Chains A and B, each alone.
Chain A
Amino acid sequence: SQTIHQWPATLVQPVGSPLSLECTVEGTSNPNLYWYRQAAGRGLQLLFYSVGIGQISSEVPQNLSASRPQDRQFILSSKKLLLSDSGFYLCAWSVQADTIYFGEGSWLTVV
């Protein structure tokens, strides 16, 4: 069966510090991969999606970036965090264009 794992689960980072969130998917090949962000009490905002290694599409301009160095690995990064980057970050995958399977999420607090 397929599983998705993202880490770390929680982190508190100072403004201006770097960020790296990692996500891996097991049990499937060539998945579509996604990073979403959910601010407190808000909906899911699509940040990045990828249909293959090295192929990244960005939804919104921001100081975040994403990379896909391997087929089932997706990384969200920032060189300098802003207070507004705080939120709940979710990695997700799909095979078809339909059902999205989410990880457990990473809580980021920028202080």
Chain B
Amino acid sequence: SQKIEQNSEALNIQEGKTATLTCNYTNYSPAYLQWYRQDPGRGPVFLLLIRENEKEKRKERLKVTFDTTLKQSLFHITASQPADSATYLCALDRTNTGGFKTIFGAGTRLFVKA
């Protein structure tokens, strides 16, 4: 069956350190992978998209890698801040005839301590 797996345990790190979150998938061949941030009680907000032919993408303190052989994406936040505390979701495209569908992982909760 198709699965998107993110670490269900919360990640606790100290301010200033690099946070690394993992997204693994099985039985998908996505053309791209995305990362979203979700704060409690709010809708997810898009952060980054990386395509299958890209190994790495950066945006300010964020970095995403995409390994289609390992079927894995890593999401890094460098110089983390307490304001980075949130749940981070990875998402894959699952394009089908007649429509587009994006499937989300359950997310990993990140806590950054001051």
- The interface of chain A, by Cβ under 8 A from chain B, is 32, 34, 36, 42-44, 46, 49-51, 55, 57, 59, 88, 90, 92, 94, 96-105, 107
Contacts and interface: CB of A to CB of B under 8 A. Distances in A.
A99 B34 contact: yes
A102 B99 contact: no
B19 interface: no
Interface of B: 31-32, 34, 36, 41-46, 49, 89, 91, 93, 95, 98-107
Contacts of B32: 98
Contacts of A97: 31, 93, 95, 100, 102
Nearest to B98: A51
Contacts of B99: 32, 49-51, 55, 57
Contacts of A88: 41
A59 B106 CA distance: 17
A57 B36 CA distance: 24
B100 A94 contact: yes
19 contacts: A36-B104, A43-B104, A43-B105, A43-B106, A44-B104, A46-B102, A49-B100, A90-B44, A96-B100, A97-B93, A97-B100, A97-B102, A98-B32, A99-B46, A99-B49, A100-B34, A100-B36, A100-B91, A104-B43
B100 A105 contact: no
B86 to A, nearest CB: 14
A43 B32 CA distance: 19
B41 A105 contact: yes
Nearest to B102: A100
A46 B101 contact: yes
A49 to B, nearest CB: 6
A99 B100 CA distance: 11
Contacts of B41: 88, 105, 107
Given A43-B106, A51-B100, A98 B49 contact: yes
Contacts of B91: 100
A98 B43 contact: no
A21 B92 CA distance: 26
